Structure 1
Amino acid sequence: MKIGLTCCLILGLTFGVGAQPASAPSDPNAPIEKTRSLKPARKVPLRDGFVLNGCSGVVKRVPNQDRWFFIPETEITDGRTTHASEYPLELLPCSTLEKIGAMAETDKAVLLRLWARVVMYRNENFLYPVYFIPTSLVDEAAPTTPDQTQGRAVPIPEPNEPSIIPANIRSLLKPKQVINLGKIRTMLEVENDAVLANRTGFITIQPGPDFRPDGFGRNVEDLSFSLLRCTGLETIESQLASAGPSRQRYKVAGIITRYKGRYYLLLQRATRTYTHGNFTP
C-alpha cells in the first residue's frame, strides 16, 4: 500500500497531476490595463496675466476644426510654475490669430515667435496672442545668438526703469483706444483690438456666453460680443449658475477683438448691476 502511494506521488510530481496550470505568456502587443497605468501628476497652470515675450514655437490647427494651438520650443516659466516644452496651449480667437491663420496653408504649421497674454479658465491655460513674427523672418534678420528671454517670466520693472517689453508690444497688450460702439464695425476692420470701458449691458450664458450692450438710441441693438474663456467668464458663470437661461445686467470692461467676422470680448472686469425699479430694461 505504501509503495502504491509513493508511486502515485512520484507520477503526480513528474507529470504535473494536481498542479496549477501555467499561465499563458502575455501578448506584447496587448494594451496596458488602465488600472496599471500611472496617473500623471496634476499640472499647475501658469499665472493668469503672465506675458509670453517672443517665445519661439509652432502654431498648428486641429484638422477639420477651427482650433489653433501653440507648441513652444522651450519650457515656459512664470517664476512660480513651469509649462513643459512641446505641450500645446490653445489660442483664443482674435484678430492676431486670424493673421496667423492667413499665413498657414491647409492643415500646415506656422513657425513663429509669439507675444501673448496667458489667461486661465477652469484651471487651464489659454493664450491671447497680440503679436507674432514668422521664424523665417527672424532667422534672416536676427543674429544667431539665442534669445535668453524666451519663455521666461517678464520681471516687473521699477517705476524709474524702462520696461523690457518693446513699446509697440506693450501698446498691443494694453490697447488705449476706447471704442465707439456705433462705429465698431468700421473700426475693427482697419485697426487693432480696442478697449471697451465701463459699458453696461446684458450677459447671457445659455445660449452663449455673450455680452449685449445697452442700445439707448446708439444704434447698437443688434451688436453682441462672444465672451472668451478667462477668469472673468468663470466668475460670471459661477454667479449665474442658478439663474438658468435668463440674462443678467453687468457693467463690463475688456478688450474687443474680431475673428472671421465675429466680435469677441476678453473680460477684464465685470460688476453686477441692478435696475432698482427705474426705467432701464
Structure 2
Amino acid sequence: MKKLLILLFVAMFCQASRSEPNTPVDANSLLRDGAPVASAAVIISYDSENGKWMCTFDEEITDTKNKIAPGQSLEMLASSALERVIASMSSSNVGEFRLWGTITKYQGSNYVYPMILLPVTESPAAAEPNQLAESAGPEPNAPDFADPNDKISIPKEVLERLKPRRTVDLQKLVEGTISVTNEDVVFTERSGFIHQDYMKNYVFVPDGLGRSVQMVSLRVLPNAALANALKVQSSEPDRVRFKATGMLTRFDGQYYILLSRATRQYSHGNFAR
C-alpha cells in the first residue's frame, strides 16, 4: 500500500510539472535518433490531461554526448509491448518497469519506443542491523556481560547488501500477464506513399507499382526517418513514392510503423503517380 501511494505521488508530481509534454527544447541537448535504452529503471504513468502514456526515467540515459536526467519524462510511442503492459496495470495506471527500447528524435523532441517492458517489485525489506545482531547471539569468545556503551560495527559493504533490491517480477511472467516475446515484425523494402489522414496523422500506404495490393494504412511514428521523408516530399509538387523499411507494431487495434529508412523511389514514367 505504501509503495502504491509513492507511485501515485510520483505520477501526480510528474503531471503537475509538465503542462506540455515533449515541449520543443534546444536541439543540441536532445539525444540522437536511434539511441538505445537497455534495462533502464522507469515509471510508466498515464497523463490524463494530454491523453498520453509517459515514461519517467529513474536513472541517467546518455548517448555519450547528451543525456536524459533522472526524473525527466518522455512520451511513449505506440507498440505491442506498451499495449501488453497497459492491459496488466491496475486502475492507478502507474507502474515500475525495466525498459528496453530506443529513443527517437522528431521536430525538437525526444520520444521513447518501448520494445520490452518487465515489471519490477521491491524485495522483502531487510532486517534492521540491531535485529540481525540480536538474532545472531553472542560471539563464541564474548564475555558474559554486555556493555551498554558498546557499538555494533557493520562494514559498509554488508550494509549495502542489506538494502532492498528491485528485481524482475517473475510471477507475472509465469502467469502470462507480461511477455518478453517481441511481437513486432520487420517491414522490409515496401513501396508506398506518406500522407496525412483526416486526423492529421502521418500514414504510410503501401503501393504495388501496378500489382494488386491490399490497401492498408500504417500510422508512422515520429522519428528522424519520417522527418527526412517529409523534407523530400515538401520539395516536390507531386506526391513522392518511397521504399520503406522499419518495425511494424500494433497498438489498440491500429498498425504502426517505426521507419528505419524511407528512400525515394522513381517510377521512370512507367506507372501513374
Question: Normalised by the shorter chain, which TM-score bucket?
Answer: 0.5 to 0.7
Q: How many residues are matched?
A: 197
In 1: Cα distance, 2:28 partner to 2:267 partner: 43
Q: Name 2:72's counterpart in structure 1.
A: 87
Q: Which moved more, 1:259-268 or 1:234-243?
A: 234-243
Give the share of equivalent positions with the same residue, in percent: 30
2:228 is the counterpart of 1:235: yes
1:274 is paired with a residue of what secondary structure?
Answer: coil
Displacement of 1:93 after TM fit?
Answer: 0.5
Deviation at 1:60, TM superposition (A): 0.6
Q: Give matches, 1:2-41, under 5 Å.
A: none
Q: Which residue of 1 is the match for residue 110 of structure 2?
A: 125
Q: Is the 8 A contact 1:59 1:69 kept in 2?
A: yes
Partner of 1:250: 242
For residue 188 of structure 1, what is the aligned residue in structure 2?
none
Q: Structure 2 counterpart of 1:130, which letter?
A: M
8 Å contact from structure 1 (residues 100, 110) kept in 2: no
Q: Paired residue for 1:274, among 255, 266, 273? A: 266
Matched, 1:48 2:33: yes
Q: Offset at 1:195?
A: 0.7
Secondary structure at the counterpart of residue 256 of structure 1: strand
Which amino acid is 1:250 matched to? F
Q: What is the CA distance between 1:65 and its match in structure 2?
A: 4.7
CA displacement at 1:76 relative to structure 2:
1.6
Q: CA deviation at 1:236?
A: 1.6
Among candidates 189, 193, 196, match of residue 198 of structure 1: 189
Provide the TM-score with structure 2 as the length reference. 0.64
Residues 117-155 of structure 1, C-alpha deviation per residue, up to 9 Å, x if partnerless?
A: 11111232111101111012x747xx96879xxxxxxxx
Q: Partner amino acid for 1:197?
A: T
Amino acid at match of 1:220: Q
Deviation at 1:235, TM superposition (A): 1.0
1:181-220 Cα deviation digits (max 9, x unpaired):
xxxxxxxxxxx11111111111114643111112455551
Partner AA of 2:217 in structure 1: S
| Greater Cα radius of gyration, structure 1 or 2 | 1
CA contact (8 A) 2:203 2:219 kept: yes
The 8 Å contact of residues 26 and 108 in structure 2, kept in 1 or not, is answered as no
Gaps of 5+ in 1: 1-39, 148-167, 173-191
For 2:202 and 2:226, the matched residues in 1 are separated by: 8
Which runs of no fewer than 5 residues in structure 2 stay unpaired? Answer: 1-24, 125-160, 167-178
Residue type at the aligned position of 2:32: R
**Pairs within 5 Å for 1:99-114:** 99-114=84-99
Q: Tell me the amino acid that sits aligned with residue 134 of structure 1.
A: P
The residue matched to 1:240 in structure 2 has which SS?
helix
Aligned residues: CA RMSD: 2.9
CA contact (8 A) 1:62 1:107 kept: no
